[in-house]
Amino acid sequence: MNERIGFSNKPTFAMKALLHSRTMVEKEGYVATGVLAHAEGEMMEIELTEFKNFELGEPVSLTVYSPVGIHRLQSTIIAKAEGSIAVIFPVRSLAGLDEKRESPRIDIEARGTISRTYSQEVESSKGEKLTIEATDSFDIELRNISNTGIGFSLMSPPTLANGDILMTSLSLGFKLECKIEIIRKDDGSEWKFYGARFQELDEQQQRALRAYLLRMQIEAYFKLKQEKASAKKSR
């Protein structure tokens, strides 16, 4: 036997290998079969003619019959639309998935503030050197958000630089207050766009952010489906 310790011979697969696979959705006393149509971030969509027989919040068992094997997962109904249901994507249950998955970047319109603290040395009337700290705050317009960071617009000035660490307070239906690090910037004529990475989110903040992202992802995805359906009907 010539197997190397610490290495697995089990094949891996990409998420797209599961798309369009026949999927069985089972709850207590009832089973229906549909097609796995979409999987991204924290959400999976299953096209299902019997979607009305499932309720929001119901736990379900999923069996995905894919070209890369049969996968059995436990999940929960989180949304319904005409002809489909959405369930939480239990990515950790998919043994062999070779993609590192993060929540997608979601376009939003929300507000927040950023603040930065700086120090300055001054000389007192007695000739002593004193250090004075001051804080500047600025309003920002959020443009997108993910579980790792935000994109925002800021009226110039001020000018921020890559690597700057700032405090931020974001209005997302709840207050998210944390540090961010500027990782990129795009200069405009009047507004400047910045990309920033979250720093040191605690467990409670991570849960609240994950719930927010999931809700926004569901709303955006099903809004797009409705727009596409309306466009087809108008042709």
Instruction: Give the CATH number, domain containing residue 119.
Output: 2.40.10.220
Q: What is the pLDDT of residues 66-119, one digit of tens each?
A: 998 899 999 999 998 889 999 998 877 777 776 555 567 889 999 999 998 877
Q: Name the amino acid, one letter, at 223.
A: K
Q: Do 156 and 191 belong together in one domain?
A: yes
Q: Do 119 and 158 belong together in one domain?
A: yes
Stretch 220-234: mean pLDDT, rounded? Answer: 77
- Count of C-beta atoms within a 10 Å radius of residue 26: 14
Model confidence band, residue 136 (pLDDT cutoffs 50, 70, 90): confident
Of residues 103, 204, 183, 190, the one with CA closest to residue 141? 190
Stretch 172-180: mean pLDDT, rounded? Answer: 95
Q: Identify the domain containing residue 89 by its residue range.
A: 15-93
Number of domains in the chain: 2
Report how far apart, in Å, the C-alpha atoms of 78 and of each of 43, 63, 87, 96, 204 are.
Answer: 9, 18, 5, 25, 21
Q: Do 119 and 193 belong together in one domain?
A: yes
228 lies in some domain: no
What pTM value is reported for the model?
0.75
Residue where a domain stops, chosen among 69, 93, 117: 93
